Amino acid sequence: MSESWDEREPGVLQLPSGRLVRGRGLRKGLDPAAAHPTYGVYLLGKEPPEVPWDTRWLRWPDFRLPRDRADARKVLAETWERAADPAERVEIACGGGRGRTGTALACLAVLDGVPAAEAVEFVRRNYDRHAVETPWQRRYVRRFGE
C-alpha cells in the first residue's frame, strides 16, 4: 500500500482541504529517489509514453487550453476526488510543469473551494511563482468556477 506525498517534497501542492497533488515538468525527468505517483494526469499535445502507474492523457497543446474542455473538467474532477484518498499519490504534469500544469492545479484549487478569482495566485504562491503562463489560461481558471 502506498502513502500520500510528503508535502515538503518539491512540486507538491497542498490544497486547503489537505489534499496533496504533485505538479512537475516531464522534460526534467523523474528523480530516481523521488516517490512515484499512483495516478498521473498528463497534459500534452501528443500521447505520453507508458509508465507503470495509472494515467489519463488530456490533449492539451503547449501554451494553449485543453482540446476538449468538457473532458478536461471531468478528468480534473476525478483527479480532485482521487487526491482525497491518502493511499493515492496524484500527479499532474506537462512538458515544463508551469503553464498547463499550473492551470490544472488552479482548477483543482477551485474545486477545493478557492475562489476562481484567487486560484492562480494561490498556485503561484504555493507551487510555482511562474505557474499559469498565458492570459487565456488565467481566463480559463476564472471561468472554471462557473
Q: What is the pLDDT of residues 48-94, one digit of tens each?
A: 989 999 999 999 999 899 999 999 999 999 999 999 999 999 999 99
> Residue 4: what pLDDT?
86
pTM of the model: 0.96
Give 2's pLDDT tier (boundaries 50, 70, 90): low
Domains and CATH numbers, the chain: 12-144 (3.90.190.10)
Q: What is the pLDDT of residues 9-35, one digit of tens each?
A: 999 999 999 999 999 999 988 888 888
Q: What is the pLDDT of residues 115-137, one digit of tens each?
A: 999 999 999 999 999 999 999 99
Sequence-distant (≥ 6) Cβ neighbours of residue 13 within 8 angstroms: 20, 21, 22, 23, 105, 123, 126, 127
DSSP-based three-state secondary structure for 27: helix
